[in-house]
Structure 1
Amino acid sequence: MPSSTSIATIAPACDTLSSSHIMSSSILSSSTSSRLASSQISKIYRQSSTLFLTRRLPESLSTILPVISSSSDEDTVNDASGESAPIARASRTTRIKVWSLYLTILNAVLELDPEEGKSAFGSTEYRNLVSKVRDGDVWDEVVSNGYGGEGDVDSDVVINLATLLLAHARTQKVNQQRLENYLAASTTPNLDLNSRLQTVQNGARSSTKGTGTDTPRDLNARVKILELYTLHVLLRNNEWDYAREFINISEILDEERREAFLQALQSLQDEQEEGRRREREARLYEEEIKERERKERKEDERARERAIMRSEEEDYGVEESPVIANGNESQKARSMNGSTKGSSARNKALTSTARSSKPPTKAVAPPPSFIQRASTIIANLRTVLENMAVNSSRNPFLLLQLLICIVGVLLVVGKRNVRERVKRLFAQGFAKVQRTAGMGVKVSYI
């Protein structure tokens, strides 16, 4: 009969063996169910991808949603602890394919026209899908339904999530925070064995990545994530100095990659400065064009005003010139009357004294007679004809030009309207001469 000490020693050992047996059997059943789930999920994935390729987005989304949705979302009463989604029990390759397809469908939904999206999904469902992506809630959905924690998310899925938020999120602050949480969690090993055991029993992937760079593929994915984080997300948030500092202190990048990242960052910053400079130049050029157009409009307005004033002055001068002339004449007459009345006696005295004191003048030659004037005109005409004969002998083209000019004048004068216009001009000129002579006679009379 065994002693009490031996019984106490055997009991914990039996408990340990039974617990290890239960763990191994649970792991075995979990792996079997994982293989079964992967085959079923692969079939659903193929159906959904076929629907997506034919642009049947609502059917494709509804086909893949049961795979990525947890049962706790539908029924939280029967299972208070909550069961993970079927995708969490699939293999890594299948998991990446399914989440990548889901994110691709969401990207296609957000690229739809709003009216087309509401028609395809309904107004409420379309708004929910759009807000899920633009607010960054899709990241929580992926982590809670497919992984044990934020650091356990596959790097390819993280790249797709960051790219989706980079294209459609309202602000990149959420994207920056999520990437920082992922980078911090993925580089910190999980030492909580109870949580890892619970994760294995639930069928989800345990956190065994370490630094996340165990294979060259993981290293390339981590470099891609760093590229998205430093050269896109941080720059959208205008954190250039922090991006440069993060690149310098990153342990993932070697010297060659670090130099390439810094050069790309500098080139992007130079492009941004160049773009700002071009925007300033374009704005200044537009302002100069507007100022030039404003000045041209002002000059046109002033020219039109001057033309209007000039036309009004011309019309006023043509219609009111006789009145102005008569007014001037009356003013001159009044001034002359006033002056002559006051100085009539003095003028008489001055004229009498001037006549008495005037020196003897020379004899004035009599004006030429009519015969002398006629002879002078004939002599001048004779001289002109002689000069014309001499010039024509020297230059015969001059005579031809003269004849052409005379013929042209005769042809022009031969037209009736031209003759009438010439007559009107002569009549107007003669009338002006008469008015001028009349005004002169009036002034002299006054």
Structure 2
Amino acid sequence: MPSNGSAYSATLSPTTTAVTPTADGFPPHVLSSSISSMASARTSKRTSPITKTYHQASTLFLTRRLPEALTTLLPLITTPQPADQNGANGSMELAPVARAPRNTRIKVWSLYLTILNAVLELDPDEGKDMFGTQEWRALCNKVRDGLVWEEVVRNGYHGVEGDVDSDVVINLATLLLAHARTQGLNQKRLESYLATCNSPNLDLTQRLNSGSRPSYRYMSPARGAVSGADTPRDLNARVKILELYTLHVLLRNNEWEYAREFISVSSVLDEERREAFLQALQSLQEEQQEADRLEREERERQQEELKRDIEEARRLRAENEKMEQRRLQEEKERKAASAASEAAKQPKGLAIQRQQGPPRPRLSTAPLTLGDRANLMMQRLQGVIEHLSSTFSTNPVFLMRLMAFVLGIIFMFSSRAIREKVQRIINGAWGKVRQTAGMGVKVSYM
């Protein structure tokens, strides 16, 4: 699209010095200009394919058909692949949106960023059902990693960051502010944009007196000849970008002092706006400090509460341990008292046997000799006698029974026949005892 200067040179070129009026009395260049104006007017009345596609995608988005809306819009913002895959012509085409008028271009990119924001706000299960797991994750990572900014600059603005429309920059910064993993990339992108784009020049006197448009730096084909950098609308957009950068992105990165310095030296802000920005920054810092104080107090309160809970748990555990020890001691004493009471009711020998516990099993030894057997019998007889004596002392009833038994024996022995029979038995028994004792003596001697 030629600039105004080239149009003037064409009009004043030597080929147009000899002007021949037409039948209507108009010079030929005026007639051609009128025809061109009428043709452009008729063209503007017709809806362009980009606008039609934009409206279709908008309708799909409003009905929450996000996959269809994104699919419809992608051909407008995607760079077409060249016919020669090797790139023999050396030029890379832009996306169709790059050649659209500024308002249409802003609308298309804004709709694209709005769709991405809606996609990231979906529940993970809902997003995977709509787009599929891989595509949904790819869309989320594109925004969270800040790759969408590079996509917009590359496909829509020929890779020139400063040529991105300010409204698109605002939408990009807002999207990353809401969903990016960190704000470091957002800060770098905004700083790069502010450093490369033209500062707005609202002094119209020089522009009117010069009779020609001021010269700008090289503009990508996406921006065309009219950049719109020197308009009140662009100034407002630049102020909005500064607001996002200084009062949101820098603060998320905890760079309060740098934000204050940037506001103080910014050439875009006048004194009134600069004062408003500084007051807002001070208010946000006070709110942040108050929030930090409340968070610190809440954290300390939780720590104190946790400490009290731990101490209470320790105290309860110590009390439970003491109660358990007391219960075990009482149970032990109760068992001991019960055992003592039961032992008092039983004969002394039996009580001693119970206290001593069950007899230990004997170890296998060599066969006993006759002498050993005799000694063992004497020990057992002695034990029986001691047991009887203890029984007599502790159980008088048993003594009376024994006396009755002895009297019964005496009464039986009062008969002569019985006495003689018992005498024979005793004599035989004593004879066996004497034989056994004699054999034991011989064995001992041997």
Aligned partner letter, 1:184? A
CA contact (8 A) 1:34 1:89 kept: no
Of 304-313 and 283-292, deviating more is 304-313
Which runs of no fewer than 5 residues in structure 1 stay unpaired? 1-12, 325-446
CA contact (8 A) 2:199 2:268 kept: no
Give the counterpart of 1:48 among 34, 41, 57: 57
Deviations along 1:336-388, one digit per CA (max 9) or x if unpaired, are xxxxxxxxxxxxxxxxxxxxxxxxxxxxxxxxxxxxxxxxxxxxxxxxxxxxx
Deviations along 1:181-237, one digit per CA (max 9) or x if unpaired, are 1111113699687x55xx5xx5x2137548x3x222212111110000001111111
| Aligned CA distance change for structure 1 residues 169 and 38 (closer, same or farther; 3 Å) | farther
Shift of residue 128 of structure 1?
Answer: 2.2
CA distance in 1, matches of 2:84, 2:115: 26
Deviations along 1:126-156, one digit per CA (max 9) or x if unpaired, are 2222222122121122122222421111111
| Aligned CA distance change for structure 1 residues 37 and 270 (closer, same or farther; 3 Å) | farther
Give the counterpart of 1:205 among 197, 219, 223: 223
Deviations along 1:290-332, one digit per CA (max 9) or x if unpaired, are 22122222222222233334444445555657999xxxxxxxx
| Aligned CA distance change for structure 1 residues 312 and 90 (closer, same or farther; 3 Å) | closer
Of 177-186 and 128-137, deviating more is 128-137
Aligned partner letter, 2:277? F
| Aligned CA distance change for structure 1 residues 266 and 249 (closer, same or farther; 3 Å) | same
> Does 1:153 pair with 2:171?
no
Shift of residue 73 of structure 1?
Answer: 6.9
CA distance in 1, matches of 2:334, 2:102: 102
CA distance in 1, matches of 2:276, 2:246: 12
CA distance in 2, matches of 1:141, 1:32: 34
State the identity as a percent.
60
Give the counterpart of 1:162 among 149, 167, 173: 173
| Aligned CA distance change for structure 1 residues 87 and 33 (closer, same or farther; 3 Å) | farther
Taking only aligned residues, the RMSD between alpha carbons, in angstroms, comes to 3.5
Q: Which residue of 1 aligns with 2:381?
A: none
Shift of residue 53 of structure 1?
Answer: 0.8
> Does 1:260 pair with 2:276?
yes
Q: Which residue of 1 aligns with 2:128?
A: 118
Give the counterpart of 1:282 among 285, 292, 298: 298
Q: Which residue of 2 aligns with 1:108?
A: 118
Aligned partner letter, 1:175? N
Classify the secondary structure of the residue corresponding to 1:71.
coil
CA distance in 2, matches of 1:319, 1:57: 80
Shift of residue 32 of structure 1?
Answer: 9.6
Of 78-87 and 104-113, deviating more is 78-87
> Does 1:233 pair with 2:249?
yes
Deviations along 1:244-303, one digit per CA (max 9) or x if unpaired, are 000000111122221221121122222222222222222221221122122222222222
Deviations along 1:138-185, one digit per CA (max 9) or x if unpaired, are 112212222242111111111000001111112211111111111111
CA distance in 2, matches of 1:50, 1:153: 26
Aligned partner letter, 1:54? T
| Aligned CA distance change for structure 1 residues 321 and 121 (closer, same or farther; 3 Å) | closer
| Aligned CA distance change for structure 1 residues 250 and 208 (closer, same or farther; 3 Å) | farther
Classify the secondary structure of the residue corresponding to 2:48.
helix
| Aligned CA distance change for structure 1 residues 38 and 231 (closer, same or farther; 3 Å) | farther
| Aligned CA distance change for structure 1 residues 62 and 144 (closer, same or farther; 3 Å) | same
Q: Which residue of 2 aligns with 1:417?
A: none
Equivalenced residue count is 297
Aligned partner letter, 1:243? A
| Aligned CA distance change for structure 1 residues 32 and 314 (closer, same or farther; 3 Å) | same
CA contact (8 A) 1:51 1:59 kept: yes
CA distance in 2, matches of 1:316, 1:137: 77
CA contact (8 A) 1:72 1:79 kept: no
CA contact (8 A) 1:152 1:206 kept: no
> Does 1:183 pair with 2:194?
yes
Shift of residue 36 of structure 1?
Answer: 9.2
CA contact (8 A) 1:38 1:91 kept: no
Q: TM-score, normalised by structure 1?
A: 0.59
CA distance in 2, matches of 1:109, 1:74: 33
CA distance in 2, matches of 1:178, 1:34: 38
Which runs of no fewer than 5 residues in structure 2 stay unpaired? 1-9, 16-28, 201-213, 341-446
Deviations along 1:392-420, one digit per CA (max 9) or x if unpaired, are xxxxxxxxxxxxxxxxxxxxxxxxxxxxx
Q: Which residue of 1 aligns with 2:104?
A: 94
Q: How does 1:393-412 map to 2 (within 5 A)?
A: none
| Aligned CA distance change for structure 1 residues 85 and 316 (closer, same or farther; 3 Å) | closer
Aligned partner letter, 1:99? W
Shift of residue 114 of structure 1?
Answer: 2.5
CA contact (8 A) 2:76 2:97 kept: yes
CA distance in 2, matches of 1:80, 1:36: 36
| Aligned CA distance change for structure 1 residues 75 and 112 (closer, same or farther; 3 Å) | farther
